[in-house]
Every structure is written in C-alpha cells, then in structure tokens.
Structure 1
Amino acid sequence: MGVPSPLVFSTYAHVAEHVVTVCVAGEIDALSVRPLEAEFARALGHRKESVVVDLAKVTFCGSAALAALLSLERDCFAAGVRLVLMPSRIVQRAIEMTGLTQVFGSDVIERDVLGH
C-alpha cells in the first residue's frame, strides 16, 4: 500500500476598506480546519463591516469545515459583522444536506458578490 497523499488546502485574506475577503481552496477537513479557523479569527480582528468567505475553489467540505463556518457565523453575529458565504457546489451541497441552509439563510449565502 502506498502512503496517502496530503490534502491540498490553501487560504488567504484580502483586506479592503469595508470588507475582508477570505479565499479558501482545496479540501477542508479535520486536518486542515485549524488554519482556516485562524484565518477567520484574523478576518474578524480587522473589525470591518463585512467578512466574505469565498469557497468557490473548495473541493471537499467535511464536518469540521461546516463547524468552522457555523462558529464564524456566530462570531460575526456577536460582533455585528455581516457574513457572506460564496460556496462552491460541493460546499452548497454540504450545507443543504445538513439542513444548515436555514441557519445561514439566503442573506448570507450569495454567489455573485465578487463577480464569480
């Protein structure tokens, strides 16, 4: 048996005048979620009006990713920050299959905020 290949994952943030955009690519699971959570915390630390999470390039969305998004939603609500999710089809499906569409709501989940 061969050695399993490491998961591919990357994240970075872009800070603008009123918004922080966190771009995520690759596979998000229990092994890669900690850097994502750290990026979310840094995004909130900028104290902007909105946090946009661009998940368009996410290829796997495990339960750890959904938990991180739920935590971010709670933190944004508590801080008075607008959260916008731009999910890939995979992330959208995971949100729908777990019934989280009602938690995030249509005002959070958008597809065309950044012209994607």
Structure 2
Amino acid sequence: MAKTIEISDTTYSQLEKLASGFESPDNVIQRLLLKTSTTLESKPELVFDPQDEREFKKQLMLHKCAEVIIHKADGSKNISIWHADRFSENSNLRGNLWSGYLRGWKEAGIVKAELKIKRKADAY
C-alpha cells in the first residue's frame, strides 16, 4: 500500500535534479536509499570468466585484454575494456582491480564486478 508524504518545494526540486529521464520521485528516493544502504555493506562481488581465478589470470596474460562490467547499487552499470599490456605472472590480479577499477568502491556504490577475457581483436 502506498503512503503519502509531504515534502518542501526545495526538496522536490532537488529530487527533480537527481532524476534520470522520466524517473518518478519515488524511484529517485528508492535509488538513493539503496545506494546509501549498499555502500555500507561488504566488498563488491568479483565474478571471473573463466570462473577459476588462476585460469583467468593465465588467460589475461595470454590475451592481455578483458571486459570489465561494474555494477552499482543504483542499478546502473559501466562496461569498459581492460588493456592489460603490462600484466605479467608477477602481477597481483586482485591488487590491480582494487587499486584500479574498484578504487573508491564504497563512495561509487559498486556492488559487483564481472571480468571476462577478450581477445584483443574482439575488444575494439
């Protein structure tokens, strides 16, 4: 059952500015609440393809390229290509992720990262 609340014109204007497209005030509030509650939770989930982390690292050294999909608490996602030309056997896979794509994960509202090996020719 829906409840009615009263907010000031100033607050409503602020909600309008935070809306994306035709997003309703209720959707904006839900997104902001989700972002706030999720940023206080545990570290983002990491999903590798291939699933075995050692095999992923081996394939990354071979192909030097991976697709990175960053999922955020507000439901948005960002897709980019990791050009890992300098990645080697001595490189720390998780260290690279936490200091790169996942840096500031709490503030950014990152809840999940998917990484999939790509052959360089397929990444362009």
User: Shorter chain as normaliser: what TM range?
Assistant: under 0.3
The structure where strand makes up a greater share of residues is 1
Provide TM-score, normalisation by structure 1. Answer: 0.26
Q: Determine which structure has more spread, i.e. the larger CA radius of gyration.
A: 2
Provide TM-score, normalisation by structure 2. Answer: 0.24
